[in-house]
Amino acid sequence: MMREFQLLEHVYASNQSLSPNVQIPPGDDLAQILIGNPSLLAGVDQLVEGRHFNLEVTPLALIGRKAITRSLSDVAAMAGKPLASLIAITLPPDFGEDRATSLFDAMRATAEEFNCPLIGGDIAFHEDPSHAMVCAVTVLATPSRKKAITRDGAHVGDHVYVTGTLGGTLLPNGLGHHLTFTPRIAEALALQSQLGDALHAMIDISDGLGRDASHIATQSEVRIEFDVQAIPCRAGISWQDAVSGGEDYELCFTASGDVPSCVGDTLVTRMGVVVPMDDQASEGTPNVVFRDGDDLIPGDELGWQHES
């Protein structure tokens, strides 16, 4: 069985061989490349039929929107400013010109809504109608300061925060928040402006709070402890489901000092703390835990990863 994160670790192992112009290598939400002033942020994400949406029930307008906003959520995670986007779509042979046009129009309109105009790409068709539709979106952005906010900057003593609410993103009919969310670009830029150097690390929550917070903990070489009573769950959602469901596209960040309880109309909740990783910790010791009274529950496996 191939596991997503094991494959990514193999990719990250070659980071040291990259050009010095690569200021942020693979391993974060976006790469940062020095090509001028300012430097460039770049990343790609994909939307796969059957994994991220159900083509039989999901309106094409929402599929096109999510294809763009998924990638823009990575821009938000690094407090970037969108610049441009490119798309590469592979469609079933019987998809039809009218449907393809509707899908493209939704992507173009969404990209323009977030000041990330569509500047190119590619369209291909499967020969086999049973093959899934796949849409990959590359985004280009600029950092809001010299170096973007990354996952590796968490400090011991930081508090851990989240925007919005978590869980319940997928309704039984396949629709829900995962298709209609707004990437937190404005919130990230506001936090960067208000907190400055006190904003230390950030990630967007796509695979679940447990797994995504573990990326911050791993790259910052710290441990994160969450208070389950403080997690802002959607109505009717347990904390366990809220931290493991994924597709929230909220921001999880660590910061010191005074952090606002709201950014614009968006709630900001303090729900955890960054503590030292035990020097005696063995391999496999969780670097994310959820405190429920006197119980410490391992959390770094709470979430989603692709397997085949």
d(CA 156, CA 151): 14
Q: For residue 75, how far is the Cα from the chain centroid? A: 9
Which CATH number characterizes residue 261's domain? 3.90.650.10
For the cut 50, the answer to whether the pLDDT of residue 307 exceeds it is: no
Residues 123 and 178 reside in one and the same domain: no
- Inside any domain, residue 80: yes
Q: 239: closest CA among 252, 249, 248, 230? A: 230
Give pLDDT, residue 22.
Answer: 81
Q: Please state which of the ranges 6-10, 190-194, 270-274, 275-279 shows the lowest mean pLDDT.
A: 6-10
Residues 9 and 135 reside in one and the same domain: yes
Residues 49 and 74 reside in one and the same domain: yes
d(CA 205, CA 3): 19
For the cut 70, the answer to whether the pLDDT of residue 5 exceeds it is: no
d(CA 48, CA 46): 6
User: What are 250's two structure tokens?
Assistant: 């909220």
Residues 54 and 102 reside in one and the same domain: yes
Give pLDDT, residue 84.
Answer: 98
Give pLDDT, residue 27.
Answer: 81
Torsion, CA 276, CA 22, CA 86, CA 44, rounded to 10: -30
Q: For residue 264, how far is the Cα from the chain centroid? A: 21
pTM: 0.90
169 in Cβ contact with 69 (< 8 Å)? no
d(CA 98, CA 93): 13
